[in-house]
Amino acid sequence: MFTLDPRLAADSFEICTLDAVQVRLMDDARYWWLVLVPEIDGAVEWHHLDAAARHHLFDVATQVASVVENLAQADKMNIAALGNMVRQLHVHVIARHAGDAAWPGPVWGVGDTLALDAPTRTARTEALQSHLLA
* 25-34 mean pLDDT: 98
Q: Classify domain 6-132 at the CATH class level.
A: alpha beta
Assess whether pLDDT exceeds 90 at residue 111: no
What percentage of the chain has pLDDT greater than the value 90? 92
Is residue 105 helix, strand or coil?
Answer: coil
Confidence of residue 129 (pLDDT cuts 50, 70, 90): very high
Assess whether pLDDT exceeds 90 at residue 29: yes
Q: State residue 67's pLDDT score.
A: 98
Query: The whole model's pTM is what?
Result: 0.95
Assess whether pLDDT exceeds 80 at residue 116: yes
Alpha helices in 2-117 (DSSP H): 6-11, 51-72
Assess whether pLDDT exceeds 90 at residue 134: no
Q: State residue 108's pLDDT score.
A: 86
> For the sheet containing 32-38, what is the strand order?
12-17, 21-26, 32-38, 91-96, 76-80
Question: What integer best gives the mean pLDDT of the chain?
Answer: 96
Q: State residue 53's pLDDT score.
A: 97
Find residue 25's DSSP bridge partners.
13, 34
Residue 118 or residue 108, greater confidence: 118
Write the pLDDT tens digit of every residue in 60-97.
Answer: 999 999 999 999 999 999 999 987 889 999 999 999 99
